[in-house]
Every structure is written in structure tokens, then in C-alpha cells.
Structure 1
């Protein structure tokens, strides 16, 4: 039985160095993290990511540099990967499902969508329709004043309308996740069924 989960999300801007792996491992120890969501991993299928005490699920950008998502989960927590391959266009996304108790599952997704990519509503709809208890973490590059950005962009308006239709909730605090632009673009989103279980969000 899992009573609490601590989830860490990072836009890591490449995990292809031992230094960053050591830093990430230390962060996970300091904050006693159970699950790590990574965006912009810059990995390719020929390079295996290894983080001590974690099982890792990846969605790599194929054919060109950059992008990529990964979910790292402590190896004492059983998780199965969710196949999202047929739903992806230009973004990278990976999902896992945890069984909590007898009849309850939690689904966790890490999604990276570049600033030049239109938000993939097909992917978001699929998650909302098929996974009752979900958490989506990711650098979606969606700006909206509702979640404390200084201005809106087109993807932010799309996401606002989508969340309104599907009763999804952004749980970010007001602090920017992208300091240079003073924007909240790394978002933590949850289904209404999960909202009551959130204790805090920190940047």
C-alpha cells in the first residue's frame, strides 16, 4: 500500500552527463522523491539512462537532437508502462500506471511539447477519457494568466478551454518555473478525483 507519493519534475536540458545524473540522484535523496518526471532529456534509444534505485521509462525524440521525456520510479514501487505511441505527433510523452489498493489505479504522465508545437488535444483527451485518476507533469509551453503567467499564448488558451471541458485542475503554486520569462510553463495537472489528495506544490 502506498500512502504518499513525492513527485519531482525537471526540465533538465539534457541528462547526457554524469554530473547531472549525480545532481539528480542527490535531489531525489534530499527530497525523498518517489517519482521523477524529466523533460528535454536529449536521449536517444542507443543511450540507456541509469539512475540508482529507479526504474526508467523513456520517450525519446527520434531523428533530431533535443526533446524527450522520461519517468523514473523507485524500484520498490511496481508500475506498468502505458503505450502512447499512436497518439504522439511532435511532442514526447511517457505514461505509467500504479495500482493503489484493491481497485484503484493512478496514472502518471510526463509530457514535453516544444514552443513551436500545437498542443496535442488528442493525447490529452485520451488521458482524460481512459484514466480516471491521472497526474500530468510537463513543460507544455502553455502560457495563461489563470496559472500566473504574465500573458497568454495560443496553447495556453487551448489548455484553458480543455481543462474547463474535462474538469482538470492545475495545482501549480504562483512561483515561475521559467525564471527568465517569469512564466509558469512546467505544469502539474490532475483529474478532479485526485485533487483532494494533493498536499502541496513547490518550485
Structure 2
């Protein structure tokens, strides 16, 4: 798992980072929100620790942009004394949790443990959705392929029958061709279904 840490206090960032390391979570530290916005386009994050009171851009505004890029990621806001009003706004933005300065190591550890567990449950749910979708597509494919394959096999055997009239051979060839076209349509239909399903997952 991977986390973004954004706070203009480097010591706070390193404190949170040390707990993430113990939990096996990789991270990126940013002291400036504008720099974070420029850099995070090429990265993926499962969650983020964001200071509400940031220079250049407050944490609430940054979190909105972060959520646009990572809608499934969780945000933990770092708040200071007197940030109550901003904390209320943060809840509306979709804050998962808060760490109030000066927080202790145990506070971060418990928060990270909850984040990891929530993320694991989310990933397990996504895997189940993928498997369910794959099973659904497999059943549909088997059903759609059965009739044309049966027809192709049957008429192919008839075409190899001894003394089969030429006009019958042409008719069998036409049926086989029609069923081949039908198979192609089935495959295209399944591919479109797969593409649409993957985009929704």
C-alpha cells in the first residue's frame, strides 16, 4: 500500500512516515501542496495524511483535488488548535479520520491499522466483483457458442459424407459460413460486455 503525506512541518511528516514504514506502507512526503499536485499525477495512493492549515493552498482545497484523482482513497486530516470549523468542513469533503496535533505515536499506529484493514476489505470486495463478473461472462459465452458450434460441427460432418450432392455441399458451406459470422458477432458482443464491465469495476 502507498500513502501521501502532506504537511509543511517536515518533522510531522517524518513522524507519520516512521509509523507507515513499520506497517509496511510506502509513502511520499510533500511540504507544499502545489508540489504535491504536480507530482501525484504519476503515482497511486491508497490513502493520504493532509494538514488542514497549509501555505499556498489549504488542506480542504487540496483534498478536493486529491479526491478527484483518487476517489476511492481515504483522507486523514491533520488538525491544529482552533481548526474546529475546518474539521467540520473536512467531514463534508469525506474525511476518514483526524489526527490532532500534537498526536502520539499510538494515535498514528491505530489510525494506520484501521486504514490498512479498510483497504484490504475494499480490495477483497473488488476481487470478488471481478471473479463474479468473469463467471457471468464465461456462462454467457458458453451459452452463446453452443448453438453455432453444434451447427458447424454437424454440417461439416454431413459435407464429408460419401456421395454428397454438389448442391448440398454448397448449402452446407453456406450454413457453416453463416454460423461462423454468428460466432464472430458473439465474440464482439462478449468483448464489448467485458470492456463495459471492467470500466465499471
Using structure 2 for the length normalisation, give the TM-score: 0.33
Q: Larger % of helix: which?
A: 2
Q: Larger % of strand: which?
A: 1
Using structure 1 for the length normalisation, give the TM-score: 0.32
